[in-house]
Amino acid sequence: MESTFFDQIYWGNSVKQYTLLVLIILLGLLFKKILSKIFSQLLFKIFKKFAAEIKVGVFLDLLLKPFERLTIIFTLYFAANQLDYPLNLILLDFKRKSKTGISISEITIGDIIDKAFLFFFILTVTWIVLRLIDFIAHVYSHKASLTESKADDQIVPFVKELTKAVVCFIGFFMLLGYTFEINVLTLITGLGISGIAIALAAKETLENLIGSFTIFIDKPFIVGDIVKVKGIEGTIEKVGFRSTLIRTNSKTMATVPNKGMVDGVLENISQRNYRKINFHLSLSYQTKSSDLKQIIIDINQYINTHEHTTTDGIAYLEGYFESAIKLEVEYFVHILEYNHFLRIKEEINFKIREIVEKNHSEFVFVKTELKN
């Protein structure tokens, strides 16, 4: 009785075939995580020696979902192939010219399932390869962080993005070639005017790519350097495939195209030896000459003996102006870190005020008139 039930035919397939279809799908969904973990751990053994210092959990986090997707694709494809009919049902009949004449081509439901499987298989394999690139880049980033040089910190993310772009490019043409049976070589050579239009559209991207190579060859800066370009000042955080990310002093993130980084005037502040401070002091005309001389002497002595300044600072009497006696102060601080530099500048400013007050003088406010 049971055998008769499973042998019954509905829509061209037996109950046994439908039962196998459901069982395969349920088993695939039930064991997808286990199978994905097993596949990921087996693949990790290949990279284990290369990434000895990296935990397997990092690898699994990257590869589990792609392998789950791959497991589901194979499960559905294997389940669908348990059915005989209507998989062979002809959906489309068309004529196609060939060298030997006109041939008739047929497209069945089975053909569509095969193409769909191939389409999602290529997509998923490309996804897995991209995740492997992420893992390899993670390993190299970790190794780069252990070295004193920052050049390797800069090149790892760039090579990662470039490699992923190449993989996506290859994956796209594999989809065209294997899934849609398009002759990729003929497609590329036959683009004609469309190819010129695409090339023009990609002109800026190509210029930025060349700019990124220029950055790595000439090395006008590396990750961590403080630069000023196109009015933007900040710390280089990343040199990408198309643009460079700069963390500004106000903690915002500025994105500058690589072309702009190499074409314009770029000032690498990190490569300077000192930060320069230059300002004026406006003192009252009530200040005695002896006190004025002592103020200049005391300021010169202080800015040239400070532990964070050079010995070539200078304070001098600039001249007598309509409403004030003006002194000019100029010195250099060898601390480049911005917040630390501001604290030193503040400390020196307070000391200069104390010197002025100690020598019986005071500051005068000078109003600047704007001319039309």
User: Could you give the CA distance from residue 241 to residue 216 in angstroms, rounded to a whole number?
Assistant: 11
Please check whether the two domains, 203-271 and 275-358, share a CATH topology: no
SS3 64: helix
Q: What tens digit of pLDDT does each residue of 17-65 get?
A: 778 888 988 988 888 888 888 888 888 888 777 777 777 788 888 888 9
Residue 197: pLDDT band by 50, 70, 90 thresholds? low
Residue 222's pLDDT band, with cuts at 50, 70 and 90, is: confident
What is the pLDDT, as a whole number, of residue 282? 93
Report the chain's mean pLDDT, rounded to a whole number: 81
Residue-wise pLDDT for 297-326, tens only, equals: 999 999 999 999 998 999 999 999 888 999
- 119-159 pLDDT, tens digit each: 999 999 999 999 999 888 888 888 877 777 666 677 788 78
172-182 residues labelled b (16+ CB within 10 A) or e (exposed): eebbeeebeee
Reply yes or no on whether the pLDDT at 1 is more than 60.
no
Choice between 71 and 12, residue whose per-residue pLDDT is larger:
71
Q: Which CATH number is associated with domain 275-358? A: 3.30.70.100
> Which amino acid would we find at residue 195?
G
Q: What is the average per-residue pLDDT within 262-275?
A: 82
Helix ranges (H only) for the chain are: 2-6, 15-47, 56-80, 109-145, 151-174, 184-189, 193-201, 203-218, 258-263, 289-305, 338-358
112 Cβ contact partners less than 8 Å away, ≥ 6 residues apart: 91
User: Residue 369: pLDDT band by 50, 70, 90 thresholds?
Assistant: very low
Residue 222 has phi, psi (to 5 degrees) of -130, 170
For residue 350, what pLDDT is reported?
95
Lowest-confidence region among 106-110, 259-263, 276-280: 106-110
Pick 203-271's CATH classification: 2.30.30.60, 3.40.50.300, 3.40.50.970, 2.170.190.11. Answer: 2.30.30.60
| Stated pTM of the model | 0.60
**% of the chain surpassing 70 pLDDT:** 82
Dist. CA 118–CA 132, nearest whole Å: 21
Domain boundary assignment for the chain? 2-146, 203-271, 275-358
Q: What is the DSSP string of 254-277?
A: EEEEHHHHHHS-EEEGGGSS-EEE
- The two structure tokens encoding residue 321: 């102006």
d(CA 259, CA 215) in angstroms, rounded, equals 10
